[in-house]
């Protein structure tokens, strides 16, 4: 008789989309925490370590469920009282629900810190160009980004908004809230839009925690932006066919204390997209955003 074939070796833990090794999970006070181990746990071992998940020993389900619910109920919820219904804006009787997998866990999985890179400047200053160049630069380095382009957002989420002052403010508010969600997910979110009013930009900064709002001001003179006129909008504004156009008959309020200012170089030349992207990427690296 032939001897039975040896069992195949235990597979390594799966990797994430970015190639990072996923850790095996163990229970903690929330019900879960990440382990440093890269060994595969057998089902019996998991059952003994993780009551309350798939594989709970027969008869232990009610006790495990009760303990898990108590742990979650008694856990601290940042900024929200326990079991208290709230009114926020026009929303009534709402309750904040905290998830046991939080921002720190997501950042460790991705190997980066979530933040918002908010690029502001006149139309034609190069905001979208910088956003795409920065996204490409960070992608090549192995970091996850997402670009929120002002025009792209108006194709969907904000297509019900006009360019009147009140709607422009709401446009910025919505994008700021979406950017905050991306940052909370551990993603480096790159928001590219004129955002002409200081008040709205500062409001977006105020909802971001721990200095994770990085304002990048493209300080490119109006005459250069108008000479570029990639969409032909300055020409239409000068002809009176567009009203309330930023830089022509509507003001642009430059940031007072942006984290990064990009200006034209000596001799009147503007920096290349790659050079601008590297400058912003260096800021992210030097300030710890490119590591968990």
**Domain 103-286, CATH:** 3.40.50.300
CA-nearest of 134, 111, 123, 139 to 292 is: 111
Find the catalytic residue in 75, 195, 211, 282.
195
SS3 101: coil
Q: Say what the pTM is.
A: 0.72
- Report helix, strand and coil shares of the chain as percent, to nearest 5: 35, 15, 50
CA distances 139 to 88, 112, 277, 290, Å, are 37, 12, 12, 12
The verdict on whether 195 is a catalytic residue reads yes
Which runs of consecutive H residues, i.e. helices, occur in the chain?
A: 43-49, 61-74, 103-110, 127-140, 150-153, 165-184, 198-206, 222-228, 233-238, 273-286
Domain coordinates in residue numbering, the chain: 25-76, 103-286
- φ, ψ dihedrals at 37, nearest 5°: -75, 145
- Residue 191's DSSP bridge partners are 118, 148
Q: Give the model's pLDDT for residue 8.
A: 57
Model confidence over 117-169: pLDDT tens digits?
999 999 999 999 999 999 999 999 999 999 999 999 999 999 999 998 899 99
How far is Cα 76 from Cα 179, in angstroms, rounded to an integer?
Answer: 25
Which runs of consecutive H residues, i.e. helices, occur in 18-102?
A: 43-49, 61-74
Model confidence over 61-100: pLDDT tens digits?
555 445 544 444 444 444 555 578 888 888 999 988 888 8
């Amino acid at each position: 008789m032939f001897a039975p074939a040896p069992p195949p070796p235990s597979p390594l833990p799966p990797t994430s989309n970015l190639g990072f090794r996923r850790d095996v999970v163990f229970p903690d006070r929330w019900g879960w925490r990440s382990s440093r181990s890269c060994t595969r746990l057998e089902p019996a071992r998991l059952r003994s370590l993780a009551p309350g998940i798939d594989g709970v020993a027969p008869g232990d389900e009610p006790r495990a469920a009760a303990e898990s619910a108590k742990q979650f109920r008694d856990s601290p919820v940042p900024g929200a009282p326990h079991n208290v219904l709230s009114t926020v804006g026009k929303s009534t009787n709402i309750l904040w629900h905290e998830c046991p997998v939080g921002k720190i866990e997501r950042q460790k999985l991705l190997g980066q810190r979530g933040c918002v890179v908010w690029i502001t400047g006149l139309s034609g200053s190069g905001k979208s160009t910088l956003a795409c160049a920065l996204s490409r630069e960070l992608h090549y380095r192995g970091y996850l980004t997402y670009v929120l382009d002002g025009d792209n957002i108006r194709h969907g989420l904000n297509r019900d908004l006009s360019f009147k002052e009140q709607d422009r403010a709401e446009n910025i508010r919505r994008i700021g809230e979406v950017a905050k969600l991306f940052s909370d997910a551990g993603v480096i979110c790159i928001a590219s839009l004129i955002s002409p009013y200081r008040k709205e930009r500062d409001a977006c900064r105020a909802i971001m925690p721990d200095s994770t709002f990085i304002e990048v001001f493209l300080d490119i003179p109006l005459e250069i932006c108008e000479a570029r006129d990639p969409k032909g909008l300055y020409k239409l504004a000068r002809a009176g066919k567009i009203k309330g156009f930023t830089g022509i008959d509507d003001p642009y309020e430059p940031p007072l204390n942006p984290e990064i200012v990009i200006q034209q170089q000596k001799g009147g030349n503007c920096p290349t997209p790659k050079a601008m992207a590297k400058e912003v990427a260096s800021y992210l690296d030097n300030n710890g955003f490119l590591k968990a």
